[in-house]
Amino acid sequence: MNSSYTYYKTTRSVCPVCHEVIPAKIIFVESSVYMLKNCTSHGEFRALISRNKENYIESLKINKPATYPLQSFKDKFEGCSVNCGLCTEHQQHTCLPIIEVTDYCNMDCPICLASNHRRFNMKPEEFRGIIDGLVKAEGIIDLINISGGEPTINPHLPELIDIARRPEILNISISTNGRIFLKNKDLLLRLIDKDVFISLQFDGFSPEAYKVMRGEGMLDEKLEILALLEKHSARTSLVMTLVNGLNTESVPAVLKFFLEKEFIKSLMFQPVIFVNSRFPYNESMAVTLPDVMEMIASGSGGIIDQKDIVNLPCSHPSCFALTYLLKLKGGGYIPLPKLIDIESYLDTIKNKTIPGLEPGSYNIIQDNIYRLWSSSGIYPETEKITKTIKSLIGQMGSLGRNPSAPDVFKIVESNVKSIYIHHFMDSYNYDISRVMKCCNQYALPGSKLIPSCVYNNTIRER
């Protein structure tokens, strides 16, 4: 491996075998970016980081200052990723906490990033402790994610939701394979009643892909679950794990489906990570962030350009990218970045992964309407756009001078759809430089917040 590569920089990673933190280099090989690392016990490893060097370099510049939490649970810094807490040096607050409420599951997916030992269902008191801790740390939390295992298995789930339903927590989502809803419609109705976002694992329209990724060809079951969610207008987010060459061909169909369905509010793409011994590392199956951007652009039927998908500056830019689509009166969608110049767009997405929670966002949109009017005719659908924004502002205005965040959110949600890309790390592409800025942490009992990839790669018992 001494041949033909260009050294870019040094960072640290973990050994895929012993999971010790080891030195790593970021290198360029032709137009791709790789990580090269060496474990003194287990030798040399090379992992794909990005198939688009230019995109990788440029994306690193999309960045902004971190926000302090109100309280750090750990005031001593022992070196990054040593006894995470979060410590005072961590470079982002907890934007999106994940709480795993069970390690039971009714499936056994070869690509599972958790490892379900089937040992616990979190008790309400323990959950309350975690929620209290989060509120103490953050004051206000946009969204918490309840996960597992399969969280719908936890018999206390409705009670947990009630505990989390407090004014400081604006949204609750639950990550699920959805299987239980077919048998227990009542649970679904209760979740809908409690205004919970359903984050449904959905890997596209290929039964074969399900077989490989999930261990069973469950497409029909997924479609049935979706029909049920639609029937009850459940606020739904689709989460699609991408395995290159396996289900990536489904991306255009999934995009189309997402845009057609009113009840689906957002679509999340997650490149597969190789953390499960039943799904060993295979570079050709890996998907990198710019790969997904390209897939979305080419699969969106001309609606979205690649440049409309922006790396999230408050997370590490290699971890998240997203775009917002504004629903037009009279049909169709337009990506928000097309309407708003990129600088003010970055302001809008600021520290949030949900659009419109800050009143400031709407001032920015308003400013840009004037630009839009004056550039009438440049955008092909100007008339639709102006109608849409007028109506949006009308709706916002009807809320009065200081609208509450949830009310604003409701309006935004019915007018805007979001597409996210979230690239977790595995022990191959793990980069401590990214960990330092993680905004997506596991909230654990005992007031501990651990960056998700630190937890998955160095702590989780496998």
Per CB under 8 A, residues contacting another protein are 2, 4-12, 22-23, 25, 28, 38, 40, 57, 60-61, 63-70, 76-80, 89, 91, 93, 138-140, 167-168, 402, 404-405, 432-433, 436-437
User: Which of 80/198 has CB closer to another protein?
Assistant: 80
Residue 342 to residue 98: CA distance in whole angstroms: 30
* Residue 130 Rama label (left phi>0; alpha psi -120 to 50; beta): alpha
Residue 179 to residue 173: CA distance in whole angstroms: 16
We find the least distance from the C-beta atom of residue 349 to another protein, in angstroms, to be 15
User: Which of 92/173 has CB closer to another protein?
Assistant: 92
We find the least distance from the C-beta atom of residue 170 to another protein, in angstroms, to be 9
Burial class of residue 400, CB neighbours in 10 A (0-12, 13-18, 19+): exposed
We find the least distance from the C-beta atom of residue 166 to another protein, in angstroms, to be 10
User: Which of 57/182 has CB closer to another protein?
Assistant: 57
We find the least distance from the C-beta atom of residue 31 to another protein, in angstroms, to be 14
We find the least distance from the C-beta atom of residue 116 to another protein, in angstroms, to be 32
We find the least distance from the C-beta atom of residue 96 to another protein, in angstroms, to be 15
Could you tell me if 393 and 359 are in contact, meaning their C-beta atoms sit under 8 angstroms apart? no
User: Which of 104/362 has CB closer to another protein?
Assistant: 362
User: Which of 58/220 has CB closer to another protein?
Assistant: 58
User: Which of 204/290 has CB closer to another protein?
Assistant: 290
How many other C-beta atoms lie within 10 A of the C-beta of residue 438?
Answer: 27
Could you tell me if 248 and 292 are in contact, meaning their C-beta atoms sit under 8 angstroms apart? no
Beta strand 169-176 with 197-201 is parallel
Beta strand 43-50 with 320-327 is unpaired
Name, in order, each residue with C-beta under 8 angstroms of 189's C-beta and a sequence gap of 6 or more. 232
User: Which of 77/263 has CB closer to another protein?
Assistant: 77
Q: Is the dihedral of CA 201, 203, 204, 206 positive or negative?
A: negative
We find the least distance from the C-beta atom of residue 16 to another protein, in angstroms, to be 17
Cα 393 to Cα 103, 197, 389, 412: the distances in Å are: 45, 25, 6, 10
